[in-house]
Every structure is written in C-alpha cells, then in structure tokens.
A = this chain, B = another copy of it.
Amino acid sequence: MQNIDNALLELPAELVTRDQDILSSYLTDFRRQYTGATTALLRPRHTADVQTIIRVCAKHRVGIVPQGGNTSYCTAATPNADGRELLISLEKMNRLRDLDKENLSVTADAGMILADLQRAADEAGLLLPLALGSQQSCRLGGNLSTNAGGINVVRYGMTRDLVLGLEAVLPDGSIYSELNPLRKNNSGYDVKQLFIGAEGTLGIITGVSLKLMRKSCQTITAFLAVRDISSLSAILNAAQIQSGEAITSFEYISSASLNLLLTAKKHLRHPLPDESEHYVVLEAATVSPILNLEECMNALLAELLESGMIGDGTIAASQQQRAALWYLRESIPEAEVHHGGSVKHDIAVRTSRLSAFIESASRLVKKHRDDAILSIYGHVGDGNVHFNIVPPIGIDQNAFKDRVEREISPEIYQLAFEMGGTFSAEYGIGRVKLDLLRRYGAEGKTHIMERIKTAIDPRGILNPGKVIP
C-alpha cells in the first residue's frame, strides 16, 4: 500500500474521501456481481483536478478506476478487491457548458447525469435522443465509455453516432481536447473514437459534445402480437415504409418476459385480449405537422393484420396508455430481479438471422433444461436481443444459475459466433467478458487493442484488468 499512501499524501485533501461508509456505496457494481475495495474515493471538481489526480497516480504507479453513475452491467467501474486501486468519481463535474440551438449541439461535463442533460435539451425545445433504462443515474462519461445503446438506436444510432466532440485526460496527465461541435472534421485521425467504448482504459473523459435533434410534434406507440418471429424484419420494414422512416423504437418482448412481469406486478393488465408468443412495442415520431402519423400507423396495422403477420395490435390512445406500454418493456429487467435474477446474454446478429438465432438458442437451452424460463426481449430493430435464462420456480436458484453459466452460456456464445454475431452488443467487456473477447474477438483485434493500450497507457494505470484480455 506504500504507493497509494504516498499518492494520497500528495493529493489535495479536498478531493479525497476516506470515510468507508461513503466509500461502500461505490464499491459494489450495479448488478451486485462483484464488490471491490479501495483506500479512497477521489472527486475532482473540474478537468484540472483530474489532471492533478492522474499525474500523482502516474508518478506512484497507482491504478485508477473511473466511475460515472455506477450502472455498468459488466463491473467495468468497480475497483479490484485487493484495495490497491483508487476510485475516481466524476459526479461533481456536472456543468452544462454550452447549448447551441441553431447548431443542434450541447457540450457538458462528463459527470452530468444523462436525464439532467435530457431535461436541459427539452427546456431548449430540443431532444437529446440518447435514452436508457438507467438514465436517472448514469452519467455522460460512462455513456461514452461504454458506447451506450438504448431504445432509440434504430433511429438515432448508438452513443458513438451522437458524439461531436470529446475532452479527456490521458494517463500522463495531459489533455486531449476536441470539443468543437462540428458535423464534419477530417483533420487527422479521429482521435475521439479511441475513447468511445474504451471503458476508461485509455483516458478519463471529462467533457463531451453531443448532437441534439428537433423535438417531435407527433409520437405514436403501438403494441403488436406477432404471429411468427421470423417476420420481425418484415414488420419493421413495413413500418419504416408506411411512416417514412419515422420509427424511433422497435422492441421485442417474448411471452415469457411478459408473464414474468405480470406475475411480479399483479396490478398490471395485459394490453391485448388474447395471449401470443411474441410481441413488439413500436414507436414512431416526427417533427412534421403535415405527415399524418396516425394514418400511417392505422395503415400499417391494417396491412399487418391482412397479411397475417400480426394477430392483433393496439395503438396507445393517450399519453397514459403510451407510458403503460413502455412500462411493460422497461420493467422486464426488474421483473427478472424480482423472480430471483437471470443469466443474461447480450447478443447481436444480423437482423436477417435474428429469428434463426432465437430459435436455435432456445432449442439448445431446452435440450439442457426444459424447465428453464427464457426471458427474451430487446432491441430487435438493431439485431440485438437480450437472451436471458431465468430459473424455474421452486429450485435452488443460485445452483441453477451457476450451472447455466458453466454449461449453457458457452454454447449460446458459440452459436452466436457461428452465426456471425457478437457476445456483447451493448454491455461491453469490463471484467466479466474478458474470456469471451479472448475466444471470440475478431481476427487480429485484441492484438491491435493491446498495442493501443500500451501506446497510450504504458504503465497500465487506467482501469487495470478491464477490457484488455
């Protein structure tokens, strides 16, 4: 601990918190998979503080773990259990720096909570399209560091697609700052891309510039009972054509996921009179006062009913009904927790192979355990499905989950790989998917990652043990 103690002696006292009661709330990850330890939490107030912290830690070769809202699904923001790393939280860096309505851009500190920036955009009459389940607590630096996805990717892309500029402190304490919110800039390598999705292993993001969008004047949400899972792409295609590509969300819910939810929350009602195997929550939005979205959605439902692709469907008639439909989709993770947890697989394949993947993976699970509950849902418009295995009622849940992770998960990842898919569509690598990256990373990729890591962080002080196998 000599190194850490020497580093802490050099750091300004006002940045350092050693109170273990305070610390403890930062040390367990969001999914409660891992609890780390640390001597101190560092809370910089501005970019210069981050530089000071990194310079001191670099000098003493102390590892630093950056944390935003602590909502990682793969323990990317949790320090090691040996207590030899310092934790840095950017929660005090939460200023809005600039909002340019005409340029449709916003610049903010990386510690700002996503929902706070959404509100700031909304108050300016604009839309920040990044929308996630954890938006009330996740922070921008974490959103960029994990290249967060969410429910609007089908229209607005991943976080990477929204980033116009970035400021980061490097492992030697120097600054990279390219925050100008330009739509086009080919002045050398696009260095900001390096830090997006790097989970804090190459630099600590301190500021971000993001695109804003015009706010819609019409939004319409529908809930569809889909006859055959192989028609999901055709349904999305029909919806895009009818609406002029106004679809903002296209989310799949399996009957098992919906049933878990209706069991967990008895006051909820099924939105359709009859049950189905497959459901879709679909949303369209437009800034146009001329395009008649309701007409589009009615035409879509008529087309889908007539072709037999859906058995039934309902369009939200009020803001309250719209919220109720979204509550169904967004409460599934909570319903899984209520049930006792699940073994999650965050898979993406080509949209043209999605139903084949779901069918093969389901057969594979049932072959092992025909009592397993398959909670399958997700952002199928992007080819991304959360394929989660939930223990049946009345058995030792932890034993079941351990066995699934040991025996079934490897086969699911192998299947995704063989179908040209990925083992991590939106959650990232963190500490928990290093083995998968080693096994299924693209040809030559980890070799390049290692070279970049060594070039930028030769002492390996930033988020040690994460992302790089």
> Hey, which bits of chain A sit against chain B, CB under 8 A?
100-105, 146-147, 149, 153, 157-158, 160-161, 170, 174-178, 180-191, 193-194, 196-198, 214, 233, 237, 240-246, 286-292, 295-296, 299, 348-353, 379, 382-384, 420-429, 433, 436-437, 440-449, 451-452, 454-456, 467
Give the 4 A-B residue pairs with the shortest CB-CB distance, closest first: A244-B288, A455-B455, A178-B442, A102-B352
Known: A176-B448, A246-B244, A442-B178. A196 touches B190 (CB 8 A): yes
Q: When the two chains form their complex, are residues A455 and B444 in contact, meaning their CB atoms are under 8 A apart? A: no
Q: Identify which of B105, B158, B189, B286 contacts A452 (C-beta below 8 A).
A: B189
Enumerate chain B residues within 8 angstroms of A289, measured Cβ to Cβ.
Answer: 241-242
Q: How far is the CB of A45 from chain B (nearest CB, A)?
A: 20
Q: When the two chains form their complex, are residues A183 and B288 in contact, meaning their CB atoms are under 8 A apart? A: no
> In the complex, which residue of chain B has the Cβ closest to the Cβ of A193?
B193
Main DSSP-derived SS at the A contact region:
loop
Q: When the two chains form their complex, are residues A176 and B350 in contact, meaning their CB atoms are under 8 A apart? A: no
> In the complex, which residue of chain B has the Cβ closest to the Cβ of A293?
B244
Q: When the two chains form their complex, are residues B182 and A348 in contact, meaning their CB atoms are under 8 A apart? A: yes
Q: When the two chains form their complex, are residues B100 and A352 in contact, meaning their CB atoms are under 8 A apart? A: yes
Q: When the two chains form their complex, are residues B237 and A214 in contact, meaning their CB atoms are under 8 A apart? A: yes
Q: When the two chains form their complex, are residues A451 and B456 in contact, meaning their CB atoms are under 8 A apart? A: yes
Known: A102-B233, A288-B241. A467 touches B424 (CB 8 A): no
Q: How far is the CB of A327 from chain B (nearest CB, A)?
A: 24
Known: A197-B189, A243-B288, A352-B102. A444 touches B184 (CB 8 A): no
Q: When the two chains form their complex, are residues B443 and A178 in contact, meaning their CB atoms are under 8 A apart? A: yes
CA distance A240 to B193 in the complex (A): 28
Q: When the two chains form their complex, are residues A444 and B177 in contact, meaning their CB atoms are under 8 A apart? A: yes
> In the complex, which residue of chain B has the Cβ closest to the Cβ of A105?
B350
CA distance A180 to B290 in the complex (A): 39
Q: When the two chains form their complex, are residues B286 and A444 in contact, meaning their CB atoms are under 8 A apart? A: no
A-B contact pairs, 24 of them (CB 8 A): A100-B350, A102-B351, A103-B353, A103-B383, A146-B186, A157-B161, A170-B444, A175-B444, A176-B448, A183-B351, A184-B379, A184-B382, A185-B348, A186-B428, A188-B429, A188-B445, A188-B467, A189-B452, A190-B197, A214-B237, A242-B289, A244-B246, A290-B295, A454-B455
Enumerate chain B residues within 8 angstroms of A178, measured Cβ to Cβ.
Answer: 442-443, 445
CA distance A424 to B190 in the complex (A): 12
Q: How far is the CB of A425 from chain B (nearest CB, A)?
A: 4
Q: When the two chains form their complex, are residues A183 and B153 in contact, meaning their CB atoms are under 8 A apart? A: yes
Q: How far is the CB of A287 from chain B (nearest CB, A)?
A: 5
CA distance A245 to B233 in the complex (A): 23
Enumerate chain B residues within 8 angstroms of A348, measured Cβ to Cβ.
Answer: 182-185
Enumerate chain B residues within 8 angstroms of A454, measured Cβ to Cβ.
Answer: 455
Enumerate chain B residues within 8 angstroms of A191, measured Cβ to Cβ.
Answer: 442, 445, 448-449
Q: When the two chains form their complex, are residues B445 and A456 in contact, meaning their CB atoms are under 8 A apart? A: no
Q: Identify which of B177, B187, B237, B291 contacts A244 (C-beta below 8 A).
A: B291
CA distance A447 to B174 in the complex (A): 10
> In the complex, which residue of chain B has the Cβ closest to the Cβ of A196?
B190
Enumerate chain B residues within 8 angstroms of A149, measured Cβ to Cβ.
Answer: 184, 186
Q: When the two chains form their complex, are residues B160 and A190 in contact, meaning their CB atoms are under 8 A apart? A: yes
Q: How far is the CB of A303 from chain B (nearest CB, A)?
A: 11
Enumerate chain B residues within 8 angstroms of A467, measured Cβ to Cβ.
Answer: 188-189
Q: How far is the CB of A346 from chain B (nearest CB, A)?
A: 8
> In the complex, which residue of chain B has the Cβ closest to the Cβ of A425?
B184
Q: When the two chains form their complex, are residues B194 and A350 in contact, meaning their CB atoms are under 8 A apart? A: no
Enumerate chain B residues within 8 angstroms of A440, measured Cβ to Cβ.
Answer: 187
Q: How far is the CB of A463 from chain B (nearest CB, A)?
A: 13
Enumerate chain B residues within 8 angstroms of A181, measured Cβ to Cβ.
Answer: 350
